[in-house]
Amino acid sequence: MKICVVTGTFHPEPGGPSTYLYNLLGDLVQRGHEVAVITYGDLEEEYDYTYPVMRISRRQPIPVRLIEFVYHILSIGRRYDLLFVNNYGLPAVVANAFLRKPMAIKLAGDFAWEYSIRHVTPLSELQQCILALLGPPASIYENLTLYANTIPP
């Protein structure tokens, strides 16, 4: 299968999502899958991966880099069977409105957000501000999280 991976962070940047994808993609390539990565990054030197990695500079203004991100998803993603989105859905959702590809989105929670949702009621001022800024996607996520916390392990 040909998989286009869309992520906000990728190896060698530190953190769980970067490490997770780096390991996962190596395994997928070993199993015969073709992968490509679209991510943000400003590396001095590029690493020698067995698959293409397109990095969009974080030094650009946010609207410019979002447009560039969507452009690269459109131009690269059209040659792939699946979009695998790792915690960075907006550009992929916009691009996929045109591509019409199958898309898998992996969402991972932020510890501070998860803790505050579970242990702080009513919503703190910070949470109210975040929900007001992000709108419906944050509200949907919050409601799913609250529901998930009611399910016994």
Residue-wise pLDDT for 21-42, tens only, equals 999 999 999 999 999 999 998 8
Q: Is residue 153 part of a domain?
A: no
* Spatial CA neighbour of 69 closest among 10, 135, 130: 10
* Confidence category of residue 86, pLDDT binned at 50, 70, 90: confident
73 with 115, same domain: the answer is no
Give 103-131 pLDDT, tens digit per residue.
988 876 555 555 555 555 555 666 666 66
40 with 77, same domain: the answer is yes
51 with 125, same domain: the answer is no
Instruction: Pinpoint the alpha helices (H) of 78-124.
Output: 89-99, 111-119
* Spatial CA neighbour of 120 closest among 87, 149, 140: 149
67 with 130, same domain: the answer is no
40 with 99, same domain: the answer is yes
Q: What is the dihedral of CA 91, 146, 109, 66, to 10 degrees?
A: 20
Domain holding 124, by residue range, is 111-148
Please say whether the beta carbons of 108 and 16 come within 8 A.
yes
